[in-house]
Structure 1
């Protein structure tokens, strides 16, 4: 994914209830009709890396955004969508109940309390709540009893608040603060900045935020896992609910949901805390030496300089003298054959290595059909940079034979692992492959790129990754 975690701006707190038509984001979208038109599906959401944001290419993105737009498209060409973005989770359900929105698509947990006022769709994800703490500021608490007297801060109106209220009946010493007009992302940022001691957050968001703030750690699980689903005002539109449920059933069966979950969460468990800390340190000490060259490589190839830098880090850890036992050398770890193809005279010269590596990546990307959507085509190119196009194409063929999607990285990375099984590699054009390596390689680069998107600006000064999505 190149997606990515969210940079919450000061302006975020100034948002009240903003109606966001995607007419501006996509000029070909028809001009919205009246708000009560049944063919306009109104979604209420919030800005977060799991829901709705503007990505590094200045396009709207987010798991909920993609699910919603695909749902409306499935209804037919006459249907349109409209997004209402609120500034805190506590406003999601009120917006829904006041009939300002038809569907709440905002990473909503299915809870008993909410079932009294909303109808839930089929669930499409499962998460686990964790108590989170700052490893640099506090010791890991063993259990809830160890928190007696300490304040647990949670966003108001969330399932975290519901959960802690229930737990307080069993643990009367618990002290918590339900914070209005905030989000889980802001709570975790406050935790990283040592402004609060503890919070509760969902596993998938924690995995993302730990890439940006490695001081954030998990202590223990809080309660049982929860389902994530869309919500609608109870009994208001049963026909729409049936359409939503049919849609989720379909995308579970055809692999679309699996691909989308991988796009936004597939790489979040790749790096360990020590890896993230080392990477962040080198972004401060080594990366500035080569930033200009990475940006110049972007000018040549139109590949985001931060992606080129992430490839380089995975290859050499930005060590210009890096040399492998097989004589692959330099910042981009070029082979002699690749160097000859790219007219590189000295692989240890960053001025030659970086643009050559970027062009070679682009050359790899061009080996895959243009019909493959992004970011999957980029992921295939990354895997090919590490292991060659041949084995990746073999895995795509196997995926197709198994009824999977050969254009989906989420599916193909499962069939790459089959290339060490004679049942598959004996009939593969390029034979045996220990293809766990290109998967680890690709997922690691996705993670490094995601971190760079959070912390470093794009080459174009007017673009801001993860800025608030307001149209």
Structure 2
């Protein structure tokens, strides 16, 4: 009996293993393997893109209208394309940003990083999005003297400081290895922007910075000057986690679309176009008048801003461009006052005395508000304000002409980056003779808008610094009281 029982148990297990093996084989599909979840899938599942961003003017900062910066806006647009939120961890130096590479939960590190050969050995870079050159930046006061360097050999004897773990450190070290005598100090305490400020104050002679960083900071530190380019063309790119092929492919596809649709051009235009119009003397004078003239009229700008819903720093920038904050300003055409109103416009706006700064500012703001309302519906976002400012300067009719011409030339008539290409053509006979409002000095409104945005960005930064200083002062006072 026991013998038959053993045989029965044996046959049961044997048949079970056979049936299990047959069923597994029958249901197995060679192409259908269990794959590890990709980083891109994880991002979409958690609904956030976790990025480390360098807290600096060229990348990411909190402005008067919230988060700003070229790289912030680029990554925010990418996050929106995925249907996820952008979650930011701020770093204050390149060294600090690089320390986040490889950490759990970090999807991307963005710190205006160039793809150097040494870095490419260490990190997994995603797509390139900007081309730059490393430049030697020195104090402007050295211009014209034998101390101002024109090439690498001239760097001997100068006090130069660069940031630790930056591409500039790699460049200088390579030159030293090649036999050049360069006195360079390395710091982990200061960012590139802080070093540029030290150059501007002549605490050090020179530093190194990428061309985009120099361009952004030139308006904030007008006493810096580019000496020479110390590298060839280099690519900026984001650092991605290892084994993130799916994320990298998706980013390449999106970035290509972002470029092809003209969005990248508009973003670069927003942050870098004013550099073409930088004027050292005017910028220095602007800083002086911020202290000597603006305080007398600041409350008028703020009151008008609240009343009409336009940033007060923009109103102040318009007024400076118009009159240098001189309430008695007068041009040869007869326009007068802080906002340089014509007699006819002032009458329509209810301004009785154009030389009264409060009346002029209120009238000018009301006029600008009307201009914004008159901008065609197809113009969106910040471009509405730029179109309105251009109309404030040259007249709405010429803006209509420029939009018609842009359409004829195959450009987008509703975006400022294309309109400012067309506006200068209004002074050329072959174009203006076919247009309703005829000849105009179309380059003037382009310079006008760029100058205003340059002044506004300086004011925004100064306001932000003042508010931070006041907050720190309050904290110190509270701490003192508690003690």
Report the TM range for the smaller structure's normalisation: 0.7 to 0.9
- In structure 1, list runs of 5 or more residues that go unmatched: 1-32, 465-471
Distance 1:95 1:374 in 2: 34
Q: 1:325 is matched with which residue: 319, 329, 332?
A: 332
Deviation at 1:448, TM superposition (A): 1.2
1:362 aligns with 2:353: no
Higher RCO (Cα < 8 Å, 6 or more apart): 1
Alignment correspondent of 1:56 = 64
Q: How many residues align?
A: 428
The one-character-per-residue Cα deviations of 1:337-359 (angstroms, maximum 9, x if unpaired) are 21111111221221211111111
The one-character-per-residue Cα deviations of 1:212-246 (angstroms, maximum 9, x if unpaired) are 22222222221213222222235x11111111111
- Normalized per residue, which structure has more helix? 2
Distance 1:121 1:422 in 2: 48
The one-character-per-residue Cα deviations of 1:26-71 (angstroms, maximum 9, x if unpaired) are xxxxxxx9879475332221111121111112x1121111111211
Deviation at 1:163, TM superposition (A): 1.2
Matches within 5 A, 1:154-169: 154-169=162-177
1:133 aligns with 2:141: no
Alignment correspondent of 1:397 = 404
Matches within 5 A, 1:221-240: 221-234=229-242, 236-240=243-247
Deviation at 1:426, TM superposition (A): 4.0
Distance 1:260 1:412 in 2: 15
Distance 2:230 2:404 in 1: 43
Alignment correspondent of 1:198 = 206
Contact 1:405/1:411 (<8 A) preserved: yes
Distance 1:141 1:195 in 2: 17
Q: Which moved more, 1:320-329 or 1:448-457?
A: 448-457
Alignment correspondent of 1:71 = 78
Q: Which moved more, 1:114-123 or 1:433-442?
A: 114-123
Matches within 5 A, 1:371-450: 372-450=379-457
1:216 aligns with 2:221: no
Contact 1:90/1:181 (<8 A) preserved: no
Deviation at 1:129, TM superposition (A): 1.8
Matches within 5 A, 1:20-419: 37=45, 40-57=48-65, 59-75=66-82, 77=83, 79-136=84-141, 139-234=147-242, 236-369=243-376, 372-419=379-426
The one-character-per-residue Cα deviations of 1:86-139 (angstroms, maximum 9, x if unpaired) are 232113333223344222222121211112233433322222222112234784
Deviation at 1:169, TM superposition (A): 2.1
Distance 1:460 1:273 in 2: 27
Contact 1:56/1:458 (<8 A) preserved: no
Contact 1:328/1:336 (<8 A) preserved: yes
Change (3 A) 1:294 1:80: closer
Alignment correspondent of 1:30 = none
Distance 2:401 2:104 in 1: 51
Structure number with larger C-alpha Rg: 2
Under a length normalisation based on structure 1, what TM-score does the superposition of the two structures give? 0.84
| DSSP-derived class of the 1:49 partner | coil
Contact 1:84/1:101 (<8 A) preserved: no
Distance 1:354 1:463 in 2: 28
Deviation at 1:370, TM superposition (A): 5.4
| DSSP-derived class of the 1:228 partner | strand
Contact 2:394/2:440 (<8 A) preserved: no
Contact 2:393/2:445 (<8 A) preserved: yes
Distance 1:91 1:291 in 2: 38
Q: Which moved more, 1:105-114 or 1:355-364?
A: 105-114
Deviation at 1:296, TM superposition (A): 2.4
- In structure 2, list runs of 5 or more residues that go unmatched: 1-40, 472-483
Deviation at 1:331, TM superposition (A): 1.4
Distance 2:465 2:344 in 1: 32
Contact 2:64/2:460 (<8 A) preserved: yes
Change (3 A) 1:349 1:135: same
Distance 1:36 1:297 in 2: 44
